[in-house]
Amino acid sequence: MSVKPYHHIPIQECHEPLVELLPEAIAFVTPHPYQTIGAPYGAQSPFWVRRGVRDRLLRAQHYLQTLQPGWQIQVFDAYRPIAVQQYMVDYTFAQLAQAQGLHPAQVEPAQKQALYEQVFEFWALPSSNPATPPPHSTGAALDVTLVDGNGQAIAMGSPIDEVSARSYPDHFAQATDPIGQAYHHHRTQLNQVMVEAGFMRHPSEWWHFSYGDQMWAWLMAQKYPATSYIACYGAVAPNP
């Protein structure tokens, strides 16, 4: 249930360093939501990315502001150590169990399997195998949304990390009401500026974009089947 379709993509690590996203250039969600609930970042920052990812993010933001002056891309989350990925998988499992009236430590095997199937639809396995790193542990992945010139969040129809069908990028594509149509328009605009800068969007998450990891290579190969793609970013530890 945790095997992802992109895990077969080979990784040829380019050894590009992690760099810090600067608040004067990019908007952040603060306080960081995972740090707030106790995720074990230690001295590591959730706002690190690979250098090439940072450059493309700035390019996407510049393009956004040609379409919507004053708007910004807001980063919800970026780099995750494996320990944070494990923490968030466990946290999400517990939240889903409790929402169904179950005690996380006392669920039956069938219930546990069903819960993990929900978790791993949206969360990557916290694998330490260098051949199958979680996207966020490579410094290649970003969870982002949009804010207006006053820093107010643009309505997207569901919060980041919601484990439901509303998280699918095209969930509101067939909406006939103005609110649903606005949600879809905003999601489409976010995708437009990110793709223009070279990113690809997660098939199940309107907020998740990456460049250079296995998921990116897999999505690019589907979009351009005549071309072969490999990942250039594998799991990475912060620079000493």
> Cα separation of 179 and 60, whole Å?
25
> Which tokens is 206 given?
């309107």
Name the nearest CA neighbour of 50 among 138, 145, 132, 144.
138
Residue environment code for 181-215, b if the CB has 16+ CB neighbours within 10 A, otherwise e: ebbbebbebbbebbeebbbbbbeebbbbbbbbbbb
- Rounded to whole angstroms, the Cα distance separating 30 from 36 reads 9
Q: What is the C-alpha separation between 222 and 227, in angstroms, rounded?
A: 9
- Let me know if 16 is a catalytic residue: no
CA max distance for the chain? 53
CA dist., res. 111 & res. 132, Å (int): 26
Q: Are 64 and 72 in contact (CB under 8 A)?
A: yes
Of residues 20, 162, 196, 205, which has the active-site annotation?
205
Residues designated catalytic: 205
